[in-house]
A and B are shown apart, each in its own frame.
Chain A
Amino acid sequence: MIEFRNVTKRYGAVTVLDDVSFTIPSGQFAVVIGPSGCGKTTTLRTINRLIEPQPGTVFIDGEDVMDQDPVQLRRRIGYVIQQIGLFPNMTVEENISVVPKLLKYPKDACATITHELLTLVDMPYEAYAHKYPSELSGGQQQRIGVLRALAASPPIVLMDEPFGALDPVTRESLQEEIKRIQRKLKKTIVFVTHDMDEALRLADVIIFMDGGKILQMATPEEMLHKPQAPIIKSFLGRHIEESGAKEGMKAQEFMKRRVHTVLESAKTLESIERMRKREVNSLVVVDDDDHYLGTVSIETIKAKGKAGRAIGEYIDTTTLTVNRHDDAKEALDKLLASTQNYVIVLNDDRTVAGIITRTSTAKAMGQALWGEIES
């Protein structure tokens, strides 16, 4: 059992944790979620004393962590950090058995543990034990990071966005794995994420934080049905509202507001650079007054573009557009009937309001479906 009692943490004038109190019973899978910088990592690191609360108390199984030797305490708590942090100078086996070795387990016990854990994640000992982290894929490294945290059978495991940098498929399979492991080994897990899908999928209980405070602590079902703050609603947004476009919904309620625009006077190379940075393959072109002109794609620039020329020469004006007050369903039908990947949503003055993409549409529909199955 982990208990926070009136925990506060300040850095100078900034309050990072503001009078936080909660209890996580043993054997529970708790997920801490919230916007970036809300204090999730800080909360996690307060549990194993990497950060010391001032004032406030953290209890583990009724004992104040400040009364315990930090090194001994940390060896009894598994920890998966935000950037994996596998030691590159050690093999997979050495990484996994680091903590057992610190705890002076006999050699053969360490070997047995490595064997068992690798089997648990379907990575045969013979094939992987003697590889170095640099010889593994991202997903495999994440697995080893989790195994290292589990190696000394700690009753509590802390995980800080362990699957943050993975592709969706690998991510999902690792989520299943960790949930299975937790049920099987009956661990108390505190898991940080900012992805609501992940939280709903894994959590027994979700702790929602914002600005260093806990806004709501509830089971996934309860949070879905009674979100207690607007920001929680918006995190859950897709899950509670967007069950596809309902009759009467406007395009603006359906669009993503983050649109990557570029001035028509921008140069070709600069635009390519921007696309690469944002990981998109086209940009919306606007004039100096922000009025919509069309779109430009990386293929066009690569095929026809010359260095140093303005992007205005390569605009594609055939891209679909709708007004933000148009009916959402019509906008979607228009998109699905075309071969294009997105519709640009415009304001009345023809400035850009947002974008509706094929992927976001499919995702919203899929989530609507999946959400129903879950509850």
Chain B
Amino acid sequence: MRELLNATGEHLLIVFFSMVAASAIAIALGVLAYWKRRLGSVIIALAEIVQTIPSLALLALLMIVFGLGDVTMGIALILYALLPIIRNTHTALIELPPHLIDAARGVGMSRAQRLAKVEIPLCIPMILGGIKVALVNSLSIAVMGVLIGSGGLGYIIYRGIQQRNMGRILIGAIPVVVIALFFDWAMRRLERRLFRHTS
């Protein structure tokens, strides 16, 4: 039990820190992609390519460079989280009704003011949607941390697999799925509440 709680805690911590970092990086990249259209398609294409790399392959490759441990896992999670958040940020920004931007420009806001006061606030529900997708993915990818010496629930699951012990696998797997479903549900509610405010 103690072991399970520790593992769950570790799992959540790695995912949490990676998501905070990924959100900051990805939102910035999304805004950059919105401001500089040409650069934007490069950014998104790169994030798409990163996303297609098989997770085991990416982890193994990162391990060669960064060695064993939590840092490597965190970098992998950040890389996988980039695309959904960048894409949602970028799409939300380019799909803002032009008259609103016109109006903001008309009342004399600078580009940075427009971003902070009008554009980003209106895009928050959609950005949250991207973070939600990234978060749910990360919870499940983080299980593979066990293969590169990082902590978390993967350890319990992997030992279960090695012992061909269904019960142990389940003990490790259930928290992952429950937490993922919980976050999916919670973020969806948050999204909907925010959406009501902005629309």
Of B103, B106, B109, B117, the contact of A273 (CB 8 Å cutoff): B103
B99, B107, B109, B117 pick with most chain A CB within 10 angstroms: B107
A268 to B109 alpha-carbon distance, docked (Å): 13
CB pair B100 A307 closer than 8 Å = no
Report if A269-B99 is in contact (Cβ < 8 Å); known contacts: A307-B109, A307-B117.
no
Of A268, A276, A305, A306, the contact of B99 (CB 8 Å cutoff): A276
A276 to B103 alpha-carbon distance, docked (Å): 11
A308 to B199 alpha-carbon distance, docked (Å): 18
Residues of A near B108 (CB, < 8 A) are 306-307
1/0 per position for B83-102, CB-CB distance to A under 8 A? 00000000000000001100
CB pair B100 A273 closer than 8 Å = yes
Residues of B near A246 (CB, < 8 A) are none
1/0 per position for A239-283, CB-CB distance to B under 8 A? 000000000000000000000000000001100110010000000
Which secondary structure dominates chain B's binding surface? helix
Residues of B near A186 (CB, < 8 A) are none
In the complex, residue of chain A having the shortest beta-carbon distance to the beta carbon of B105: A302
CB distance from B108 to the nearest CB of A (A): 6
A268, A272, A305, A306 pick with most chain B CB within 10 angstroms: A272
CB pair A301 B106 closer than 8 Å = yes
Tell me, yes or no, whether B147 is within 8 Å of chain A by CB: no
CB distance from B126 to the nearest CB of A (A): 19
Residues of B near A306 (CB, < 8 A) are 107-108
Residues of B near A273 (CB, < 8 A) are 99-100, 103
Residues of B near A305 (CB, < 8 A) are 106-107
CB pair B99 A307 closer than 8 Å = no
CB distance from B53 to the nearest CB of A (A): 35
In the complex, residue of chain B having the shortest beta-carbon distance to the beta carbon of A307: B107
Residues of B near A269 (CB, < 8 A) are 100, 103-104, 107, 118
Residues of B near A276 (CB, < 8 A) are 99
Residues of A near B118 (CB, < 8 A) are 269, 307
1/0 per position for B106-117, CB-CB distance to A under 8 A? 111100000001
In the complex, residue of chain A having the shortest beta-carbon distance to the beta carbon of B103: A272
A360 to B99 alpha-carbon distance, docked (Å): 27
A269 to B118 alpha-carbon distance, docked (Å): 10
A23 to B17 alpha-carbon distance, docked (Å): 74
CB distance from B105 to the nearest CB of A (A): 9
Residues of B near A268 (CB, < 8 A) are 103, 107
A276 to B106 alpha-carbon distance, docked (Å): 14
CB distance from B197 to the nearest CB of A (A): 14
In the complex, residue of chain A having the shortest beta-carbon distance to the beta carbon of B117: A307
Residues of A near B104 (CB, < 8 A) are 269, 307
CB pair B106 A302 closer than 8 Å = yes
In the complex, residue of chain B having the shortest beta-carbon distance to the beta carbon of A306: B107
Residues of B near A272 (CB, < 8 A) are 99, 103, 106
CB distance from A307 to the nearest CB of B (A): 4
A269-B107, A307-B107 are known; give 7 further A-B pairs, CB within 8 A.
A268-B103, A268-B107, A269-B103, A273-B100, A305-B106, A305-B107, A306-B107
Would you give 25 A-B contacts (Cβ < 8 Å), ordered by A? Answer: A268-B103, A268-B107, A269-B100, A269-B103, A269-B107, A269-B118, A272-B99, A272-B103, A272-B106, A273-B99, A273-B100, A273-B103, A301-B106, A301-B107, A302-B103, A305-B106, A305-B107, A306-B107, A306-B108, A307-B104, A307-B107, A307-B108, A307-B109, A307-B117, A307-B118
Q: Which 8 A-B pairs have the closest CB atoms?
A: A307-B107, A302-B106, A272-B103, A305-B107, A276-B99, A306-B107, A269-B103, A268-B107
